Amino acid sequence: MMNEHSFSALDRHAVLTGANDSFPWFAGAMRAWEASEVVRLRLEKFAHVDEDIGQEACLMVSEKIFAAVEAGARFLAGAGPAAIINLYRERVAANAKRLSA
């Protein structure tokens, strides 16, 4: 028949609900929340004019460049969105721990 479709139940679910199960939405939202906390901690450090603010600014930029290169390499090696988001979450958690100490 012409109108017969061979969609799976997951395909129908994605179409009917607008869901995209290939992207980890909750992990992405948590990464954004955690990153905002790191931004707050860094802004506090800059506002208090600590002696190592120049080093912190350089570290902030170099970390972002390194994380982007590593995420790109993992993506090209076949890592999915969840693995890349978890990579960023690990980096953000390490920064939060370091800055809050």
Give residue 1's pLDDT.
46
C-alpha neighbours within 13 Å on the C-beta side of residue 12: 5
Torsion angle of alpha carbons 32, 65, 87, 26, nearest 10°? 20
Residue 55 lies in a domain: yes
Residue ranges making up the domain that contains 89: 23-100
Residue 2 lies in a domain: no
Going by C-alpha positions, the residue among 93, 87, 39, 41 that lies closest to residue 67 is: 87
Give residue 36's pLDDT.
94
Give residue 21's pLDDT.
52
Residue 81 lies in a domain: yes
Q: What residues in the chain have per-residue pLDDT under 50?
A: 1
> How confident is the model over 65-74, as pLDDT tens digits?
999 999 999 9
Residue 78's region, left for phi above 0, alpha for psi from -120 to 50, else beta, is left
Residue 30 lies in a domain: yes
| Number of structural domains found in the chain | 1
pTM of the model: 0.71
Give residue 98's pLDDT.
92
